[in-house]
């Protein structure tokens, strides 16, 4: 049996997916979720084989779910969308399947057949590579994150990137400093930097990213380095290899 999870914020869409799946004898619907946060919990606790995942959802969309889980742990995915033309192009380029609302029965069966074939071949490694390509494509085309998903102590919270003062590397994690709070996120500095808007965030050291709007003062040091003073009072040191970026702020 293909253990399947349905994720869509529209009850009508969920009913439509369920109706189509009930005709498939090899599919077991294990749960339905109406938002991205519930989807994260369901994927981690229920470990479905297949997820019908809505692209457009409030708070945490389908791409946010994908990034929060991590492509290496994500089950097979059939994306569901109403109008995102760019997403459709990305899916086509990366050979990921998707369904347009309202659902066409023949197209639905085709998507399910392709997912079934992939699972039978146990080719999830290839699907994961395609999901990663999708994330890379979205990043390259200017889709920067506006919030980050934090999973800690059995709960899921969201941090708006506008609340972040600075970010530091912490082994295989990054630590987000937002006012008096700090949050640990399992992601590399380079991966996170690619998802942040460069008009708002600047890498100033191999282990430090700063929210440009939070910079209060810059103090030139030797060899082109700077001491960076934030509006919170935090003092950070820039790296020599990043001096040109800070020079631009001083012009």
> Which architecture characterizes domain 2-140 according to CATH?
3-Layer(aba) Sandwich (3.40)
Cα-atom radius of gyration of the chain, to the nearest Å? 21
Coil, helix or strand at residue 136:
helix
In the chain, CATH 2.40.50.1020 sits at: 153-249
CATH topology of domain 153-249: OB fold (Dihydrolipoamide Acetyltransferase, E2P) (2.40.50)
- The answer to whether the CB of 184 falls within 8 A of the CB of 170 is yes
Longest CA–CA span in the chain (Å) reads: 71
- Provide the 8-state DSSP code for 54: E
Judging by beta carbons within 10 Å of its beta carbon (0-12, 13-18, 19+), is residue 140 exposed, middle or buried? exposed
pTM: predicted TM-score of the whole model, two decimal places: 0.65
Cross-strand bridge partners of residue 75: none
In the chain, CATH 3.40.50.2300 sits at: 2-140
Would you give per-residue pLDDT tens digits along the chain (251 residues)?
999 999 999 999 999 999 999 989 999 999 999 999 899 999 999 999 999 999 888 878 888 888 788 767 778 888 888 876 656 655 654 546 788 888 899 999 999 998 888 887 765 566 666 666 666 666 555 567 888 888 777 777 888 999 999 999 988 889 999 999 999 988 888 888 888 888 899 999 999 999 999 999 999 888 778 899 999 999 999 988 888 888 777 76
Coil, helix or strand at residue 1:
coil
């Amino acid at each position: 049996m293909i253990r399947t999870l349905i994720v869509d914020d529209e009850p009508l869409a969920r009913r439509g997916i369920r109706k189509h799946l009930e005709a498939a004898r090899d599919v077991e619907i294990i749960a339905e979720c109406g938002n991205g946060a519930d989807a994260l919990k369901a994927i981690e606790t229920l470990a479905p084989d297949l997820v019908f995942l809505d692209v457009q959802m409030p708070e945490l969309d389908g791409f946010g779910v994908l990034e929060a889980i991590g492509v290496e742990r994500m089950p097979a995915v059939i994306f569901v969308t109403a109008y995102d033309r760019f997403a459709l192009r990305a899916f086509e380029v990366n050979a990921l399947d998707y369904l347009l609302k309202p659902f066409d029965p023949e197209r639905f069966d085709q998507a399910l057949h392709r997912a079934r074939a992939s699972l039978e071949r146990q080719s999830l490694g290839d699907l994961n590579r395609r999901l990663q390509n999708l994330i890379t494509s979205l990043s390259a085309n200017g889709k920067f994150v506006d919030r980050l998903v934090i999973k800690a102590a059995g709960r899921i919270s969201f941090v708006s990137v506008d609340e972040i003062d600075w970010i530091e590397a912490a082994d295989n994690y990054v630590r987000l400093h937002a006012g008096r709070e700090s949050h640990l996120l399992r992601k590399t500095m380079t991966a996170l930097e690619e998802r942040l808007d460069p008009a708002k965030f600047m890498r100033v050291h191999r282990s430090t990213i700063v929210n440009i709007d939070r910079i209060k003062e810059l103090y030139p040091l030797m060899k082109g380095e700077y001491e960076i003073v934030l509006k919170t009072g935090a003092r950070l040191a820039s790296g020599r290899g990043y001096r040109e970026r800070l020079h631009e702020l001083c012009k």
